Amino acid sequence: MKRWSVLLAALLLPIPALALTGEEAMKKSQAAFLYPGKDFKARVLMKLINRDGQERVRELTMLRRNVGAPGGEQKYFMVFFKPNDVKDMSFMTYKYPAKDDDRWMFIPAVNMVKRIAAQDKRSSFVGSDFTYEDVSGRDIEDDSHAIEREEKVGGRDCYVVKSTPKTGDADFGHKLTWVDKANFLPLKEEQYDRKGARYKEFSADEVAEVKGFPTVVRRTMKNLQTGHRTEVGYSKTDYNLGIDDSLFSERFLRQPPRKWVD
């Protein structure tokens, strides 16, 4: 009789150990979205489109190398091709968790490498609707996360995670992320401003499997207040190419090795 009642109690009680918390969902999502593989390479085409449909283009090669485990330090290397006058400009970031990034930029017209302050991760990345944070990730610890509900996006089951900044200094009030239950990629994200109005919307428009890693190869960020949007497409996407740590240096910033940037 005693044994039965224990079994019954175990069946009736919730099983917290198996359910996912909001924070865990976001951690898994960040790992799947920004940390897959040891390293990563893609040719990135960004279209910056204003309300009237006028387009500006940014084209670059992006290289990434993970230094630590998911959520840890990363190094990014970018070489620009378009617009024409910024050809050969290159940009390098050392990303640290819970600390300001280090950024450098090479300006070929004056043959100069300049360190760039990174105090504002919420500013626009190369004039697009993506912020630096949108590109390379926001520290999970900066927000508190809660799974609000579960919902389908494009036929796929998702957790809807609400992330609210722990301190009030962020320019947004909160965001909702639709995290794919199966592969943990963020399929959709809504950012709300401090007045509670939805002002930015991210969508993963195409997901492809590259070397076994589900990868968002087309994405859009829309600014609902200005009507401006940025569409991003990845091509020549690849993982685990064996990118050497020495690439991420001022020397190569000035003269990126051809094999990595074509």
**Nearer Cβ to other proteins (127/257):** 127
Distance CA 75, CA 244 (A): 11
Residue 86 as a binder of other proteins (CB under 8 A): the answer is yes
- What is the DSSP secondary structure assignment for residue 53, as one 8-state letter? -
Structure-derived torsion over alpha carbons of residues 213, 218, 223, 227, reported in degrees to the nearest 10: -170
Q: Taking Cα atoms as reference points, which of 24, 20, 22, 18 lies closest to residue 10?
A: 18
For other proteins, the binding residues in 106-165 under the rule CB under 8 A are 107-110, 112, 114-117, 119-120, 123-127
**Nearer Cβ to other proteins (21/50):** 50
**Nearer Cβ to other proteins (23/193):** 193
Residue 7 as a binder of other proteins (CB under 8 A): the answer is no
**Nearer Cβ to other proteins (51/236):** 51
Q: Taking Cα atoms as reference points, which of 209, 208, 191 lies closest to residue 200?
A: 191
Give residues with Cβ within 8 angstroms of 113, minimum separation 6. 104, 105, 106, 107, 250, 253, 254
Amino acid at residue number 4? W
Considering only 4-12, 52-60, 145-153, 235-243, which stretch makes contact with other proteins by CB under 8 A?
A: 52-60
In the set 28, 56, 174, 181, which binds other proteins (CB under 8 A)?
Answer: 56
Q: What residues make contact with other proteins under the rule CB under 8 A?
A: 48, 50-52, 54-56, 80, 83-86, 89, 91, 105, 107-110, 112, 114-117, 119-120, 123-127, 193-195, 225-226, 228
